[in-house]
Structure 1
């Protein structure tokens, strides 16, 4: 998981090539765990009535989410390409609810031999 996460950050601006299902889902799991940990810390500091620390944790979570957004887009494009789909399928994200579901199914598709540019 650590190697997949390192590659995630190293390939932050790489829209060419492919990403395997394993790489994609390990990164998704790592990001979910980091978000969960930050969420738990926000809950704990909120329960302690430490407003300054709480605001700091919320700002940290916002910065983390924005920072992760940059390398996530190329990762998704590479995953779609690996599954044999065109990168333009990313626009399904603009369809509420159904678009995310469709993309999740596409991300689960096995690797195709033919790479779609």
Structure 2
């Protein structure tokens, strides 16, 4: 799956938690979200350097939180795991590391 196909796929399945997402789809999506967030954070800091949270970055997070969770659930399912592994996100640093490892697992 290419970069553009992955982004199109995730947005077309905006809130769809059923099915599976291959590793390429998930990680291309993560790259896209990171690039856009970096660009919007830079824009926010140039507009209002004294603010910790910018308007554009906050709106971006609101827009992508549902598709991000949906593609993560589909990716976990593709790796043969349950969506319940997302609860590890509540653990500050260790939980994120554990989830990254789980999301890198091969398809089953």
Give CA-to-partner distance per residue, 1:33-87, whole Å, 9 cap, x none: 001111222233346xxxxxx97x9212111111100111111100000011111
* Contact 2:7/2:32 (8 A) holds in 1: yes
State the alpha-carbon separation in 2 of the partners of residues 12 and 92 from structure 1: 23
Structure 2 residue aligned with 1:27, among 16, 26, 29? 29
Q: TM-score, normalised by structure 2?
A: 0.88
Instruction: Give unmatched runs, 5+ long, in structure 2.
Output: none
TM-score between both structures, scaled by the size of structure 1:
0.82
Equivalent in 56, 61, 68 of residue 60 of structure 1: 56
Aligned partner of residue 54 in structure 2, secondary structure: helix
Q: 2:67 aligns with which of 65, 71, 83?
A: 71
What is the CA distance between 1:96 and its match in structure 2? 1.6
CA distance in 2, matches of 1:111, 1:99: 21
Return structure 1 stretches of 4+ with deviation > 2 angstroms: 42-47
Unaligned runs of 5+ in 1: 48-53, 113-117
Structure 1 residue 6, shift from structure 2 partner: 1.2
* Cα distance in structure 2, aligned partners of 1:16 and 1:43: 38
CA RMSD of aligned residues (A): 1.8
Rg larger for: 1
Aligned residue in 2 for 1:111: 107
